[in-house]
Amino acid sequence: GPKVLQIPSHQIIDMGQMVTLNCDPVSNHLYFYWYKQILGQQMEFLVNFYNGKVMEKSKLFKDQFSVERPDGSYFTLKIQPTALEDSAVYFCASSSGGGTEVFFGKGTRLTVV
């Protein structure tokens, strides 16, 4: 079936450094999402993105976070600077529209030390 690819699968980074998480969404999908899952806890919405713009973001989407998808390439989540509490698994997802199936990647496990 359709796949969302996330690169890398694991990332360890020093607190205060910048990190970019990459996502290759399902081709021809138009809506893109980032979710955050802390180990053993629920999946929490961070942001959704459509037509080059952020549509909605949650209170977890701090000022240090940004997203973009330049020219149909990777959909990225950048955190600058990182903080210890940013350690989590970040899932990228995409869909063809609202109320349609949302496909998730396998996640990037981010560890901030």
Partner 1 sequence: QQQVRQSSQSLTVWEGETAILNCSYENSAFDYFPWYQQFPGEGPALLIAIRSVSDKKEDGRFTIFFNKREKNLSLHIKDSQPGDSATYFCAASLTNTGKLTFGDGTVLTVKP
Confirm if 88 and 36 have CB atoms less than 8 A apart: yes
Q: Does 78 bind partner 1 (CB under 8 A)?
A: no
Tokens found for residue 1 = 């079936």
Binding mask of the shown chain, residues 33 to 62, with x at each position contacting partner 1 by CB under 8 A:
x-x-----xxxxx--x------xx------
User: Rounded to an integer, what distance in angstroms lies between the CA atom of residue 65 and that of residue 21?
Assistant: 11
Grouping H, G, I as helix, E, B as strand and the rest as coil, residue 18 is coil
Q: Identify which of residues 6 and 82 has a Cβ nearer to partner 1 in the complex.
A: 6
Tokens found for residue 100 = 């349609």
Shortest separation between residue 32's beta carbon and partner 1, angstroms: 10
Count of residues interacting with partner 1 (CB under 8 A): 26
Contacts with partner 1 by CB under 8 A lie at 4, 31, 33, 35, 41-45, 48, 55-56, 91, 93, 95, 97-107
